[in-house]
Amino acid sequence: MVDQVIKLEDTSKMMEEWDKYLAEKSGFLLVIFTGTMDADGSSWCPDCVVAKPKIKEVVEAVAGKVKVIVASVTRNEWRGNADHPYKKHGVFHVTGVPTMVLFEEENEMARAQNLDDFANEDLLNMFKEAAA
C-alpha cells in the first residue's frame, strides 16, 4: 500500500487524487480535511489544533496500510463559501474542519467531524481497525 501521507492544499489536486483512488479500487482511503498550518505550526482553525493529536494517532495506526490524504483549506477559501467543492461534493459532504473520513471505494466507513467525535475513542478505533 502507501507508506506516505499525501498533503494537498489545492482542491483540484484533491479531486484528481479522489478520481485516481476510485479508478485504482485500492482498498481504504483516509481523508483528513483540515485548516492550513503556518510555518510555525499554528492554524486559523482552533478545532483543527485541538483534534491534531487524535488525528496523528489515527494516521500513525494506519501508516503503510491505508492511503492517507490531508486536504488543507485556507480560511479565506473555506469560511462563508457554501459552494466550496468539499462542501458540495456528492460523497465528501464536509460541513466543517477538521473532518476525517475513512472510505472503502465510495463507501463511507467512518467519519469524525466535530470535537466530540475526535474525543470518542470507540469511533477513533473504527478508523484504526480498518487497517488491521
Q: In what order do the strands lie in the sheet with 67-73?
A: 5-8, 67-73, 28-35, 99-104, 107-112
8 A C-beta contact, residue 101 and residue 108: yes
Among 30, 32, 45, 68, the active-site one is: 45
44 carries an active-site annotation: no
- C-alpha to C-alpha distance for 49 and 18, rounded to whole angstroms: 25
115 carries an active-site annotation: no
Catalytic residues: 45, 48
